[in-house]
Amino acid sequence: MYDTVIIGGGASGIFSAINAARRGKSVLLCERLSRVGKKILSTGNGRCNISNQNITQERYHGTSPLFSASALTSFSAYDTVSFFESIGLSVCEGENGKLYPKSLQATSVLDLMRLELARLGVSETVDCFIKKIEKIKEGFKLTSEDNRVFSAKKVILATGGKAAPSMGTDGNGYALVSCLGHTIIKPFPSLVQVKTQPPMRALKGVKHHGEITVYIDNKPKRTESGEILFTDYGVSGPPVFNLSRFASKGITDGRDVTFKLNLFPEFSEDSLSSFLKERRRTLPHLTGENFLCGLLPKLLAREVLKISKSDKDLPRFLTALPLTVTGVMPWANAQVTAGGIATNEVNPKTMESLLVPGLFFCGEVLDIDGDCGGYNLQWAWSSAYVAAQNI
């Protein structure tokens, strides 16, 4: 019987295995795919944005986002850097506080974590899909799809969510624990591209730095700025990703969801109006679609001029271009899952189930999701650390 069996060899599973083994526990890490850490290799466009210098509570969401506070304090971004440096990974800072391996290669993060697993003697079993968890007198009995049986005093469930199912995460972890009485908050995709009406297909590939506000039932919910990418189905880019969980939830709840794009965030509508009047006066030869030449990408200028029709409306459309949100792209495109195991059934200081003593959770399987920028991996490390300290 192992002290701990960890189900799921992703970011949080590997990290909890390392920390449990460092405490002298015997650990078995079970992964359904043919190798552990597959998703880590895809993170940060292959560079692995391991954390962020600016971890704040408002970067985290869920039914009770404050659930994440204790773990994020117990194991902070500073601790993440110290941990990775302790296993040989130099860390560097990118834009907006994002932290990366100095090699800018996700493989170095995974390689060094795997070497640490080996150094600590953690047992690993791959191609091992755990399909059942049963409570027994001494702890737990786990059964795999190919009928292998494992027993453990404690179990850490680190099966991730539903996002990116090709990387082993199809939401099966929810079924494993709902049988034990846990409630699942309906999952929906987050950090994902957004479909809009009109789709503005002509703008496919155009990028512009601006500001977007998501409106739910005509009420502004959140604003994000950064590079907006227009696509054939709608919009993408970092600000869209950060708003996508609100859009996704709004759509799931049957609300009206709208994006308003401010293409000139440095101006108010009035100051932009004055600026454009002055431009008309001083540059009278810039007519038609050339009027916005030099201010906006040409295709975008053409599209906005088409929509606004008159000079009077132009500043309003340039500072609040409305796009009706019709949905988000599917799970295969999403980076993160919002929703998951209800956190009011889990102790935030230990990550232990309040319903099934000895069962712990970490990472994306819980109803906590973070913004784009290293916040999700930080949650994986922090929650895994806390679980491992308390088994």
Q: Which is nearer to ligand FAD, 208 or 249 (CB)?
A: 249
Number of Cβ within 10 Å of residue 45's Cβ equals: 9
Note every long-range contact of 303-311, with CB atoms under 8 Å and residues 24 or more positions apart, other chains counting.
Answer: 303/200, 303/202, 303/203, 304/263, 311/276, 311/280
- Tell which one of 7, 117, 229, 263 touches ligand FAD (CB under 6 A): 7
Q: Is 184 in the site for ligand FAD (CB under 6 A)?
A: no
Sole binder of ligand FAD in the list 211, 303, 364, 367 (CB under 6 A): 364
- Is residue 163 at the binding interface for ligand FAD, with CB under 6 A as the rule? yes
CA nearest to 374, candidates 60, 85, 8: 60
DSSP 288-309: GGGGGBTTB-HHHHHHHHHHH-
> What string marks each residue from 12 to 51 as x (binds ligand FAD by CB under 6 A) or -?
xx----------------xxxx----xx--xxx---xx--
Does residue 111 contact residue 104 with C-beta atoms inside 8 Å? Answer: no
CA–CA separation, 30 and 60 (whole Å): 28
Which of residues 50 and 216 has its CB atom nearest to ligand FAD in the complex? 50
Nearer residue to ligand FAD within complex by CB, 43 or 213: 43
- The residue (of 261 and 338) whose beta carbon lies closer to ligand FAD is 338
- 188: three-class secondary structure by DSSP: strand
Burial class of 267 by CB neighbour count within 10 A (0 to 12, 13 to 18, 19+): middle
189 is an interface residue for ligand FAD by CB under 6 A: no
Q: Which CB atom, from 130 or from 338, has the smaller least distance to ligand FAD?
A: 130
Residues in binding contact with ligand FAD, number by CB under 6 A: 39
Determine if 10 is a binding residue for ligand FAD (CB under 6 A): yes
Closest separation between CB of residue 256 and ligand FAD, Å? 29
Q: How far is the CB of 40 from ligand FAD (least distance, A)?
A: 6
Closer CB to ligand FAD, 143 or 390, in the complex: 143
Work out how close the CB of 383 gets to ligand FAD at its nearest, in angstroms, rounded to a whole number. Answer: 8
Nearer to ligand FAD, 129 or 275 (CB): 129
Based on CB atoms, which residue is closest to ligand FAD, 191 or 300? 191
Helix axes 11-22, 375-390, angle to 10 degrees: 30
Residue list 323-362, contact with ligand FAD (CB under 6 A) = 335-336
Alpha helices in 123-237 (DSSP H): 172-178
Least distance to ligand FAD, CB of residue 172, Å: 5
CA angle centred on 159, ends 153 and 165, rounded to 5°? 160
Binding positions for ligand FAD, 122-161, rule CB under 6 A:
129-130, 158-160
Nearest distance from C-beta of residue 45 to ligand FAD, angstroms: 7
Yes or no: say if 209 and 226 are a contact pair by the CB < 8 Å rule: yes
Complete DSSP assignment for 96-117:
GGEEEETT--HHHHHHHHHHHH
With CB under 6 A as the contact rule, which of the stretches 62-70, 83-91, 300-308, 371-379 interacts with ligand FAD?
371-379
DSSP-derived 3-state class of residue 64: coil
DSSP one-letter string for 259-275: EEEES-TTS-HHHHHHH
Q: Report which of 321, 325, 296 is spatially closest to residue 307, judged by C-alpha positions.
A: 321
8 lines the binding site for ligand FAD (CB under 6 A): yes
Where do contacts with ligand FAD occur on this chain (CB under 6 A)?
7-13, 30-33, 38-39, 42-44, 48-49, 129-130, 158-160, 163-164, 168-169, 172-173, 335-336, 363-365, 374-377, 380
